[in-house]
Amino acid sequence: MKEIINQLKDDHIRVNASLDKMEQLIDTPLETSRDELVSEFQFFKDFACKIHHKRESEVLYNWMKKQNPEADKEIIERINEEHKSLESEVNNFIEKITKMAKEEENTILCDIEQFIRVYKQHIEKEEKFIFLIAQQLTEKKTT
């Protein structure tokens, strides 16, 4: 399980790099950064939503629930709900950015800024709570 946790941490490094790039892009006019923003959200759709979230839910979280069925259930359910919400937002942003009118630019950029903040908080929760709990469960199994 340690390998899975390390892989997920590596995934978070990739995701954070994409979020950092988005932060830079929203500081430039959308007419010049639109394609790159769409590309970053496409990365989220293809990697974070389809691969990373699935790896967390189906491998790590299922393993954790088997180790301790009730103790971690609430936080795992909350994180899985966040995944669903973030995935929905990613799909919406791809469409919004692609079809956006000039007068919508400020609103969309503020929404993207909020998405970045929420996603970084999501990663922080996973690393400070979920991964820590998983590491403790792994250590219990080896002792």
Structure-block tokens of residue 75: 């936080």
Residues 130 and 83 sit within 8 Å (Cβ to Cβ): no
Whole-number Å distance between alpha carbons of 71 and 42: 35
Structure-block tokens of residue 37: 């923003």
When pLDDT is cut at 50, 70 and 90, the band that residue 105 belongs to is confident
Residues 86 and 118 sit within 8 Å (Cβ to Cβ): yes
Q: Average pLDDT of 9-15? A: 97
Instruction: Indicate the average pLDDT of the chain.
Output: 92
Q: For the chain, which domains are there? A: 2-142 (1.20.120)
Q: Average pLDDT of 68-80? A: 84
Query: In this predicted model, what pLDDT tens digit does every residue of 24-46 receive, in sequence order?
Result: 999 988 888 999 999 999 999 99
Report which DSSP code applies to 45: I
Q: Is the pLDDT of residue 142 over 80?
A: no
Report which DSSP code applies to 29: -
Of 22, 20, 8, the closest CA to residue 51 belongs to 8
